[in-house]
A and B are shown apart, each in its own frame.
Chain A
Amino acid sequence: MVSVWRYSHLLFAIISSAFLLMASITGVILAVEPISNKVQPYRISGADELSLAEVLTTLDDTYEEILAVTRDRNGFIKVSAIIDGANAEFYVNPFNGEKLADPIEKQAIYQFATNLHRSLFLKSTGRILIGLSSFFLILIAISGIVLIAKRQGGYRHFFSPIVRENFSQYHHVVYSRFALVPIFILALTGVYLSLLRFNIIPETPISMEVDYDNIKEEPALPHAEFELFKNTQLGDIRDLEYPFSEFVEDYYIIRYRDKEVFLNQVTGDILAEEKFPMVQIISSWATVLHTAEGSILWAIFVGLGSLAIPFLIITGFVIYFKRPKTKIRNEFSKNQAEIVILVGTEGGTTLQFAEQFQKKLLERKVPCFLGMMNEYNRFKSMQQLILITATYGQGEAPASAEKFLSLLQKKPQNQNFKFTTVGFGSTAYPHFCQFAHEAHQHLSQLDNGTAFMEVFTVNDQSFEAFQNWCTEWSQLQGMDLRLEKPKTMGNTLPSSTFKVLNKSELPTDETFLLNLKNLNGAKPISGDLLSVVPKEGERERLYSLGKLSDNSLVVSIRRHPNGLCSNYLHQLEDGEKLTATVIPNRNFHFPKNSKKTILIATGTGIGPFLGMIEENTNKKELHLYWGARTPQSLNLYKEFIQKSMQGGKLSHFKTAYSREKEEKVYVQHLIKKDRDLFAQVLKKRGAIMICGSIAMQKEVLYELQDICSQELGRDLSYFQNKKQIKMDCY
């Protein structure tokens, strides 16, 4: 079903994009026109409350012959008159009849934009094309709404945070959600105006008859005495036409917003009156909504909507062209391959991970085949099937895996095989990796399939998590595969220079703390990341930053025996300089409005928390749970923690040591014991922040999920979406 919506969304966009691009760009220009008109100082405050009797008396005293008085959508009063035998039109101040200015002339740019916008200078053909594009825009908007709802996992989650895969995908969804309303209104009114133009919506004109035989010539009243003129305010009318001649057969014509009245010019009697037909009133609304005449706010609103269209067209096509188009390179045919990797992907990101994996296998000359899950077939030499799949919307199959479950039944394998499933997803969605589990389940039910590993899940496209799976898998296979992280693409953030203030070390634990001073550039916040490139050409390593003061930052580092970056940082002496880049990590900043906060870390994951604790000068309730191997590991932070507790910046501190006793204690065990505290913090809109290893994150989330569903009757994702659970794990 998803693909039907997707293909129609794309198809309509392809058909109409060129015209929509034209119409939207000119639309943005045209949105400026009503604003530039409205800001002219021709609207006189209080004029709308004047009666017609007052206004007409003033004007007749000032000018020789008035033909008509018009009140436009800006509230400007325009008079048509004959002055010295010539036609004249101008804005007036209705209080004193004074001429304010000549009518605003439509500027050439707006005239040009209007023509292009309406008909592309192709007259009727162009109008049809634009009308059709407008219609397609409605269809694009509708299919877009459905696609967002599916992606977000239901209409209820329409405005939930969007998982970011890449720039185009993320911003396409973000902007379309907000531009939806103006775009929909513009498209709908655009179609309406086109239909009106081509008479498909018939505009029935008003047809009032005046009974000339019974027209009265007395009692003659001065027109200032006419009831209607005395009782009608200037603000109520659209225009008023004077009688053509002094014969009684000629009358005043007064148009209101909803009706037209003919008025005897001698007696002031109403000769005829008729309401405008509904179509005309709707048309008037459609025009105002589409052109934004007379309202600056509305003009800005639809102008921004119009501006979003070119952006959505471009990002939309980028998403389309980035989608995998079976560009996969295989060295072995599907029947030669012993390992078959099948991918279930929506936007193609998951495929990139699978490709990395395939590449490493090929380097080892392992006969493997990479394909989409929809290509599931009989694989004659397959010994192991590896599924790497995302989940779409409410646990549905992603685009490239839609047919997988049915193919599984139709194409049974002739030999026994093992299978492994890796699920990609985000715990911010309620149906985390559901399709991966479902596929795994179906495979388990086959007679000749055996699970090689449990389903492994990867949260938020974490490369580290995928690497962990790869290590685990390759060790079971008796190999040692190391994936290459794709190099950071065009890191445009400027780098800063830091001075090493101090290094404290705990050799037994291979951990050390670096105190840095920022000499220029970025102003980091605790939780931001420090990107360090140890040598040119090497890939970056990221460390979480803690900010102790404006002049002192802290990073906590574990030294790996062969770690290029950790050893590079380790050999820095006090006073030496370091060039690195600060990467903002907004999702891991301390939540300002959280009254109670729980920090959970293992090992060096405590780094950013040191800064957050130090900055807790308001002494809000703050709990720290910390896991390490032995109590000695704490020596590096002991002094800081003690000082913080004495100063009231840290309320509670609990530790879990995994190598201290017979029984290993991990942070998740502490969480289990303190369930009530965790439930209470979440309930009171407090936050839980997690920093450390992916393995720890998994266990902690498992425990938290249990607390959420048991104690709070909610899914964990609910709190994640409310940004009450923040994570930075590696």
Chain B
Amino acid sequence: MTPPNISYKCMIQMTNYSGEKAYVVVSLINPEGNYEKTLYVQGDDAEWFPDLKQWWDFSNGSNENIDGLTGATIGNGERNIISLTFDESQLDAGYKVRFESAVEDQDYHEVDAEIKLNSATIKNKVDGTGYIRYIRMVPNR
């Protein structure tokens, strides 16, 4: 029996930075602060994945299958809306959702934004520190 799932709609709103379109990876971080699994990869050209260094070390190092998790990159000022799914057991258990980002020839942000997987606060808007302006999440209909 797979544990019941809970899914959220998540909006990634980019800032008006200048440059190429951004690569953003959304990962689940376990209570120990380590990568648990990849939830979504915004970027479809694997050539640039190693630029997201920390995540790549984990994902590539653990031979994770990320087929079907990728979507198109988005540019500055744009937003992307995605759906993220978790095990219900991960809710309110110290897990976090991390957004890390990179842009060709520009800085890499290991933690651009991070949201606690906490049912009480998850709907709060969280500001990014890099190319992400803010993240919003709401439960799926």
Contacts and interface: CB of A to CB of B under 8 A. Distances in A.
Interface of A: 64-65, 67-68, 80, 82, 85-87, 89, 106, 111, 115, 123-124, 197, 199, 202-203, 205-207, 241, 244-245
Given A87-B71, A106-B44, A244-B136, A205 B79 contact: no
A86 B85 contact: yes
Contact of B141 (A65, A203, A241): A65
B70 to A, nearest CB: 10
Nearest to B15: A205
B107 to A, nearest CB: 14
Contacts of A207: 16
Given A85-B7, A123-B104, A199-B18, A64 B141 contact: yes
A578 B136 CA distance: 90
Contacts of B104: 123-124
Given A106-B44, A111-B45, A123-B105, A68 B140 contact: no
B20 A197 contact: yes
Q: What's the dominant secondary structure at chain A's contact region?
A: mixed
B141 A124 contact: no
Given A65-B141, A82-B83, 18 more contacts: A65-B140, A82-B7, A82-B140, A85-B83, A86-B7, A86-B83, A87-B82, A106-B44, A115-B47, A124-B105, A199-B18, A199-B19, A203-B18, A205-B16, A244-B9, A244-B11, A244-B136, A245-B138
A559 B105 CA distance: 80
A202 B17 CA distance: 12
Contact of B71 (A89, A106, A115): A89
B76 interface: yes
B42 to A, nearest CB: 11
A363 B27 CA distance: 87
Interface in B1-52: 5, 7, 9, 11, 16, 18-20, 40, 44-45, 47
B94 interface: no
18 contacts: A65-B140, A68-B81, A82-B9, A82-B140, A85-B5, A85-B85, A85-B140, A86-B85, A87-B71, A89-B71, A123-B105, A124-B104, A202-B18, A203-B18, A205-B77, A244-B9, A244-B81, A245-B138
A80 B81 contact: yes
A689 B105 CA distance: 68
A203 B18 CA distance: 8
A65 to B, nearest CB: 6
A207 B133 CA distance: 14
A255 to B, nearest CB: 10
Contacts of B76: 205
B40 to A, nearest CB: 8
Contacts of B141: 64-65
Interface in B67-114: 71, 76-77, 79, 81-83, 85, 104-105
Contacts of A68: 81
Nearest to B83: A82
Contacts of B138: 244-245
Contacts of B5: 85
Nearest to B104: A123
